[in-house]
Structure 1
Amino acid sequence: MTATQATDTPDWGLEQLRNAIKAAGVALWTWNVDDDTFLMDTKGYDLWDVNSDKVLTFEHLSEKIHPADRDRVRAAFVATRAIVGPYEIDFRILTGASDVRWISARGQGDDVGIIGRKMTGVFLDVTGRKQAEEGHELLAGEMSHRVKNLLALAAGLTSITSRSTTTKEEMAHQLTQRLTALGRAHDLVRPLPSGQGKAALLGDLFAVLLAPYDDVGAFAGRIRVAVPRAGVGEAAATHLALVIHELATNSLKYGALSVGAGTLDVSGLLTGDDVEIVWTEQGGPEVVPPEGTAGYGSRLLQRTISGPLAGSLAYDWTQSGVLITLRVKADSLTK
């Protein structure tokens, strides 16, 4: 190796290291512990969204730290002077129009290692990782919430079904049907764009939940659904699924869907702040209004609609078939 080659090699190696640091998004910094001045490379100033033309101090820089993290970060930086070995702390900073960015500060502690009264370290932009972690935490919390709600609902359905059936086989059949209806409703609930929550379309909810009943009997295609295009939130979808299932089950037992020539028409419209859904059965057996105390299925309907859905349910026992009008508040459907 010639003298020229020996001299050039270190410069080439340093340039490669600089490129590696740049590619990794690493910002370099030094902090003078005596006069509090803080220096960073170009990446650091861009990361913090501060002007490199002015003298910067740690105190001035800390003003960019999120108020909830500021005292913790100041205390941690001071404490690093007494810590032997590497340290790391994550915190939020405010940039631009109050945009939040997550920063990870890493360095080597202990005053013994200070050269020229300056501490050194790096800043990393870990916003993506933190957002992913927050997303996982939210997902875990949501799943826990959903499971608890479904277990509570399943327990309630089990209690209601046990009181409205006479044999264990009948109870198992009805309970399975109700739980299956809930499962179909939850399958429809999907995240909406731009963080607008989760919802299913009202028409899809009716179509999917009524599809199994359309296959019963001699004629297919005897169920028609034409409702307003509206989003149904996760909780509302669960309750509405129970309502649809109970109405369809009653129709299959006693109404239009109990005979091959019977038809069901589900229509709807928006009236002010309300969504009105009309359930019309035609071609079934002669309708006879129920007498005496309402059954558990009817109580479940009334309690679900008047409670979680903040609505009302009205029956019109016409000779040609029952006509049921369901009216709910539009904002209750989005929950």
Structure 2
Amino acid sequence: MTRDEPDWGPEHLRGAIEAAGVALWSWEVDTDVFVMDGHGYRLWDVGREGTLTFEHLSEKIHPADRDRVRAAFRATRAVKGPYETDFRIIVGSNIRWISARGQGHDEGIVGRTMTGVFLDVAGRKQAEEGHELLAGEMSHRVKNLLAVAAGLTKITSRSSTSVDDMTDQLTRRLIALGRAHDLVRPLADGQGNAALLGDLFTVLLAPYDSTAAFSGLIRVAVPRMGVGENAANGLALVIHELATNSLKYGALSSPEGTLDVFGTVVGQDVEILWSEQGGPDVVPPAEVVGYGSQLVRRTMQGTLGGSISFEWPRSGVQVTVRIREDRLAL
């Protein structure tokens, strides 16, 4: 026994197409006239008045994608089978991602007219970009963790008197580093602030001190105030990046180096000065374009709504972080 196929009438098909957000289009290949359904005109933000050509429509394609899309549409007539191409269009001041799909090699062509569909794929592209950013961030953080582990091992070997002593010190530092990364995890709803500002610096910087936080290598003095879970996540990334760079190139890479973290409230802002001394002579970078630097600036401007600036005196790098007090509590 077989089930009868449903009677798909035009109204059913139109309802399914509208529910899926699909825009239909046809292209007269000889005259270049391009026609779309109502959703297509809304998707591209073009009017129905006058004759629309593919050449005119393609002017709305993002300049970085325009030549590629024009070439792709021309190539579809020479390549047999289904095709799909994604590109950006400019709608007012916004950028919109579109996917064009159809059949190539004049397959199914009727009256010299090619047909296909447009889909708004902004959600998919945003998810892909988010995954790429997350993958890049995770790769960067893993590399930094390996560098930190190597640096901690080197520091520990300098101050250890025996294998057991080195094992004990290194184990405690790695455990402290694990606790620091726990701070980056969001808290459950209703649990309030993620940490006190001083506790955040204490735990995050403890793995980099000679034996434990405040033993002398690292000194922290910041106002007593709560840090919300969102701000704690962002600030933890910034602290981790600054400490990693210091361990690689700055004061924390030297047994004589010191780090002072001093905070104060200036008007509506919390200002934190990160001051390194006693490390290798500082050589100012020609430009700051690394992934870590981009991550720090993006986090400061986006998550924390603040700013970060660097000075490069020979004696040690000076970093100034400014965050609005109301944003720190979020």
SS at match of 2:76: helix
Residues 38-88 of structure 1: per-residue CA shift (max 9 Å, x gap): 000011011111112232110011111111111110001011112222111
CA distance in 2, matches of 1:172, 1:91: 55
CA distance in 2, matches of 1:84, 1:158: 60
Residues 165-217 of structure 1: per-residue CA shift (max 9 Å, x gap): 011221111112222222222222369xxxxxxx9873340465699xxxxxx
User: Which structure 2 residues correspond to residues 32-43 of structure 1 after superposition, within 5 A?
Assistant: 32-43=28-39
The one-letter code of the counterpart of 2:60 is K
- Judging changes above 3 Å, is the alpha-carbon distance between structure 1 residues 239 and 187 closer, same or farther for their aligned structure 2 residues? farther
User: Which structure 2 residues correspond to residues 160-175 of structure 1 after superposition, within 5 A?
Assistant: 160-175=155-170
CA distance in 1, matches of 2:71, 2:245: 55
Please report how far the alpha carbon of residue 101 of structure 1 lies from its aligned counterpart in structure 2 after TM superposition. Answer: 1.2
User: Which structure 2 residues correspond to residues 145-294 of structure 1 after superposition, within 5 A?
Assistant: 145-189=140-184, 202-206=197-201, 226-227=223-224, 232-237=235-240, 268-270=263-265, 275=272
CA distance in 1, matches of 2:170, 2:203: 19
- Judging changes above 3 Å, is the alpha-carbon distance between structure 1 residues 200 and 233 closer, same or farther for their aligned structure 2 residues? farther
Question: More deviation in 137-146 or 200-209?
Answer: 200-209
- Judging changes above 3 Å, is the alpha-carbon distance between structure 1 residues 83 and 206 closer, same or farther for their aligned structure 2 residues? closer
Query: More helix per residue: 1 or 2?
Result: 1
Please report how far the alpha carbon of residue 26 of structure 1 lies from its aligned counterpart in structure 2 after TM superposition. Answer: 0.4
Residues 257-281 of structure 1: per-residue CA shift (max 9 Å, x gap): xxxxxxxxx984246996369xxxx
Match of 1:71 in 2: 67
- Judging changes above 3 Å, is the alpha-carbon distance between structure 1 residues 61 and 241 closer, same or farther for their aligned structure 2 residues? closer
Match of 1:217 in 2: none
The one-letter code of the counterpart of 1:34 is D
For the 8 Å contact 2:273–2:321, the answer to whether it is kept is no
Match of 2:214 in 1: none
Please report how far the alpha carbon of residue 111 of structure 1 lies from its aligned counterpart in structure 2 after TM superposition. Answer: 2.8
- Judging changes above 3 Å, is the alpha-carbon distance between structure 1 residues 271 and 303 closer, same or farther for their aligned structure 2 residues? farther
User: Which structure 2 residues correspond to residues 306-317 of structure 1 after superposition, within 5 A?
Assistant: none
For the 8 Å contact 1:190–1:200, the answer to whether it is kept is no
Residue 116 of structure 1, aligned match among 89, 102, 111: 111
Q: TM-score scaled to structure 2, two decimals?
A: 0.63
For the 8 Å contact 1:31–1:39, the answer to whether it is kept is yes
Please report how far the alpha carbon of residue 149 of structure 1 lies from its aligned counterpart in structure 2 after TM superposition. Answer: 0.9
Give RMSD over aligned pairs: 4.2
Match of 2:25 in 1: 29
The one-letter code of the counterpart of 2:138 is M
CA distance in 2, matches of 1:129, 1:19: 23
Match of 1:129 in 2: 124
For the 8 Å contact 2:273–2:320, the answer to whether it is kept is no
- Judging changes above 3 Å, is the alpha-carbon distance between structure 1 residues 40 and 140 closer, same or farther for their aligned structure 2 residues? same
- Judging changes above 3 Å, is the alpha-carbon distance between structure 1 residues 42 and 48 closer, same or farther for their aligned structure 2 residues? same
- Judging changes above 3 Å, is the alpha-carbon distance between structure 1 residues 329 and 84 closer, same or farther for their aligned structure 2 residues? closer
For the 8 Å contact 1:310–1:329, the answer to whether it is kept is yes
For the 8 Å contact 2:200–2:236, the answer to whether it is kept is no
- Judging changes above 3 Å, is the alpha-carbon distance between structure 1 residues 20 and 301 closer, same or farther for their aligned structure 2 residues? same
The one-letter code of the counterpart of 1:63 is E
CA distance in 2, matches of 1:276, 1:110: 64
Residues 234-264 of structure 1: per-residue CA shift (max 9 Å, x gap): 1424656999xxxxxxxxxxxxxxxxxxxxx
CA distance in 1, matches of 2:146, 2:277: 19
For the 8 Å contact 2:61–2:90, the answer to whether it is kept is yes
Query: Unaligned 5+ residue runs, structure 2?
Result: 1-5, 187-193, 207-220, 247-260, 284-292, 294-309, 325-330
Percent of aligned pairs with the same amino acid = 62
Match of 2:133 in 1: 138
CA distance in 1, matches of 2:273, 2:137: 30
The one-letter code of the counterpart of 2:109 is I
Residue 53 of structure 2, aligned match among 45, 51, 57: 57
Match of 1:330 in 2: 320
Please report how far the alpha carbon of residue 118 of structure 1 lies from its aligned counterpart in structure 2 after TM superposition. Answer: 0.6
Match of 1:263 in 2: none
The one-letter code of the counterpart of 2:90 is L
For the 8 Å contact 1:185–1:241, the answer to whether it is kept is no
Match of 2:190 in 1: none
Q: TM-score scaled to structure 1, two decimals?
A: 0.62
Residues 210-238 of structure 1: per-residue CA shift (max 9 Å, x gap): 99xxxxxxxxxxxx974467863514246
**Deviant stretches of 4+, over 6 Å:** 306-312
The one-letter code of the counterpart of 1:146 is R
Structure with the greater alpha carbon radius of gyration = 1
Question: More deviation in 31-40 or 52-61?
Answer: 52-61
The one-letter code of the counterpart of 1:175 is L
The one-letter code of the counterpart of 1:236 is I
CA distance in 1, matches of 2:175, 2:312: 24
CA distance in 1, matches of 2:34, 2:245: 63
CA distance in 2, matches of 1:310, 1:205: 24
Q: How many residue pairs get matched?
A: 249
